[in-house]
Structure 1
Amino acid sequence: MENGREVLVIGESRYFGKRLIRRLLSAGDRVTVLNRGSSAPPAGAAHLVADRDDEDALRRALGSRSFDTVVDQVCYTPRQAAVARRVFSGRTGRYVLTSTVEVYEYEDSPAPVPESAVDPRTVTVDLELPWDEPAFRDARYGEGKRQAEAVLTGDPALPCAAVRVAHVLGGEDDFTGRLAHYTDRVRAGAPIAVPVVNRPATYIHVEEIADFLAWTVGETFTGPVNAASHGTLDTEELCAAVAAQVPGGRVELRGVEVGEVSPLSFARSYGMDNSRATRLGFTFGDVWQWLPKAVAETLGKGD
């Protein structure tokens, strides 16, 4: 595809969002970032300020602009998706929703889960739930994303791809603190709470998901697609990778029957099948190849 596309990125201009924007700019695309003004986009991108939940404000900010592709990084609920569908139908050639592995929260399978396990065309949408309440929305993150996918699926005026992102690791700017949770405890030899039965999950490096989203912008496929590196990790393997780079560090896993456990430790499998993306032409790395780099970045030893 020729460069020089008009691309709108809604939301995050930090972590993998800023990496995506820089890749698009480097490819020669004309990038516009829309957010509430809390952070400026990388140099070279245009900036629009609006609350994406306010439909009138969103329309005013966009004016008569149209785009080849919209990448929505911050659509968490079916209400937000409904606003997007009304505003962007007929205004963009393709809509890319950043979704999540959490849509599979009820799919406990030892085998990697394909996209067909959660078909957005069969998901029930309930716009009357209190989606505007942060506590409700946060507690139903996977459900909100499932319903958002459902709202955005099947509209011929808004072709949509939903990128179901695996758990993201790496980068000195990882604001989630999830991998740092383990580096801190391994350094201190502190107990690490995990489920008694600890299951593996799929992951993706921050640079790889930025690569994947940038590649997706240039493609034409629609529907859900899993984005995950090859291979899985359980908590013990993750901790072993940390301990390998922490001299004198000690791993003490403590099984918890009931109560809070460490981030990225799961009582059910969280593996995604990435074969659809592979068939479409994207080449994923292996989690074991980049995991040492991700640990080094979290420890402040990255290049």
Structure 2
Amino acid sequence: MNILVMGGTRYFGIHLVKDLLAQGHNVTIATRGITKDSFGDKVLRIIFDRTDFDSVKNVLSEKFFDVVYDNLAYCSNDVKCILDIINCNKYIMMSSTSVYEKHWDTMEEEFHPLNKKLIWCTRMDFPYDEAKRQAECALWQDYNYINAIAVRYPFVIGKDDYTKRLYFYVEHVIKEIPMYIDNIDCQMGFIRSDEAGTFMAFIADKDYSGPINGSSFGTISIREILDYVTEKTGKEPVLSEDGEKAPYNCEPEYSINTSKAGKLGFKFSNLKDWIYQLIDYYIEML
């Protein structure tokens, strides 16, 4: 298939492109021409600013793709800027489990984009969770004629995680930096960055439309993470209300139901089979 990937030059987007190439697809990556990639002549490249309608129109108006991956749609205007122009058989948008009021066994049906008022907005108009909801509202309300999938992930982590959110906890324990954590015992879900890319590549040719969850099996709490770092290093976390606010603060206790992905034939990894190895990697770095 002829596939366009927006957001294919870093993080799980790199893994997505690698998997698509391994499957034999023809891949074009769209960038602003700033971030270099390591794909060489294995991919085609086009340059535009996805938030600029004229920039997108000038590049995409005469092109067709079997599948378009949009890893960069953060708000309703982002969706509009692409879908008013793009010509494709399938559109796969990177969404987030932030669209939910999360709890144990959170399922796709618990956020209904058709039941929420659509507001055309920019990325700065709302917090991340609401902006993502509006992106989905735009997709399902104004572009429901398009065969589309919205992939909803919890926190994506891995050795290539540029956000360094999990790294924050490891670093603060080892360097004895005070931190403020408001949900230390809440169980939370995660997905590894390479698996996030692999699942997105997996659904390229699947007969499915609508929202779909992705997450590693199992959950873990911040206390379990801190206890592991202490066990490995002998350093105790310094917890203080005056400390630096931790990245996963305000997250509730939850798990993500992935039965729909399972019915398509995809089996996610077990979180605790790999997260401690990732923590070991961070410990070694420090």
Q: Which whole-Å deviations, capped at 9, do the CAs of 1:200-232 have from their partners, x for residues lacking one?
A: 211011111111111121312111111111111
Counterpart of 1:168 in 2: which secondary structure? strand
Asked whether the equivalents of residues 16 and 201 of structure 2 are also in contact (C-alpha less than 8 Å), the reply is yes
Asked whether the equivalents of residues 230 and 284 of structure 1 are also in contact (C-alpha less than 8 Å), the reply is yes
Q: Give the stretch that moved more between structures: 152-161 or 112-121.
A: 152-161
Asked whether the equivalents of residues 13 and 40 of structure 1 are also in contact (C-alpha less than 8 Å), the reply is yes
Deviation at 1:244, TM superposition (A): 4.1
Query: Residue 290 in 1 paired to residue 283 in 2?
Result: no
| Aligned CA distance change for structure 1 residues 115 and 296 (closer, same or farther; 3 Å) | same
Counterpart of 1:195 in 2: which secondary structure? coil
Deviation at 1:189, TM superposition (A): 3.0
Query: Residue 126 in 1 paired to residue 119 in 2?
Result: yes
Amino acid at match of 2:252: R
| Aligned CA distance change for structure 1 residues 132 and 225 (closer, same or farther; 3 Å) | closer
2:108 equivalent among 115, 121, 132: 115
Amino acid at match of 2:112: D
Partner of 2:22: 26
Partner of 2:197: 210
Deviation at 1:63, TM superposition (A): 4.4
Query: Residue 81 in 1 paired to residue 79 in 2?
Result: yes
Written as runs of structure 1 = structure 2, the 5 A alignment for 1:29-40 is 29-40=25-36
Counterpart of 2:272 in 1: which secondary structure? helix
Q: C-alpha distance in 2, partners of 1:48/1:75?
A: 18
| Aligned CA distance change for structure 1 residues 87 and 184 (closer, same or farther; 3 Å) | same
Deviation at 1:300, TM superposition (A): 4.8
Deviation at 1:29, TM superposition (A): 0.9
| Aligned CA distance change for structure 1 residues 176 and 196 (closer, same or farther; 3 Å) | closer
Partner of 1:68: 66
Written as runs of structure 1 = structure 2, the 5 A alignment for 1:1-303 is 5-41=1-37, 42-43=39-40, 44-88=42-86, 91-104=87-100, 107-109=101-103, 111-127=104-120, 129=121, 131=122, 133=124, 136-137=125-126, 140-153=127-140, 155=143, 157-171=145-159, 173-195=160-182, 198-245=185-232, 247-254=233-240, 256=241, 261-300=245-284
Counterpart of 1:181 in 2: which secondary structure? helix
Q: C-alpha distance in 2, partners of 1:274/1:253?
A: 34
Deviation at 1:252, TM superposition (A): 3.6
Counterpart of 2:220 in 1: which secondary structure? coil
User: Kindly, what percent of the aligned residue pairs are identical?
Assistant: 28
Counterpart of 1:251 in 2: which secondary structure? coil
Amino acid at match of 2:267: T
Q: C-alpha distance in 2, partners of 1:48/1:221?
A: 28
Deviation at 1:73, TM superposition (A): 0.6
Amino acid at match of 1:289: D
For the aligned residue pairs, the C-alpha RMSD in angstroms reads 2.2
Note the residue ranges of structure 2 that are not aligned, 5 or more in a row.
Answer: none
Deviation at 1:249, TM superposition (A): 2.4
Q: Which whole-Å deviations, capped at 9, do the CAs of 1:251-302 have from their partners, x for residues lacking one?
A: 3444x4x99630124352242211221122110111100112221333456x
Asked whether the equivalents of residues 183 and 250 of structure 2 are also in contact (C-alpha less than 8 Å), the reply is no
Asked whether the equivalents of residues 179 and 244 of structure 2 are also in contact (C-alpha less than 8 Å), the reply is no
Amino acid at match of 2:236: R
Asked whether the equivalents of residues 170 and 295 of structure 1 are also in contact (C-alpha less than 8 Å), the reply is no
Q: C-alpha distance in 1, partners of 2:12/2:270?
A: 18
Deviation at 1:70, TM superposition (A): 0.5
Note the residue ranges of structure 1 that are not aligned, 5 or more in a row.
Answer: none
Counterpart of 2:181 in 1: which secondary structure? strand
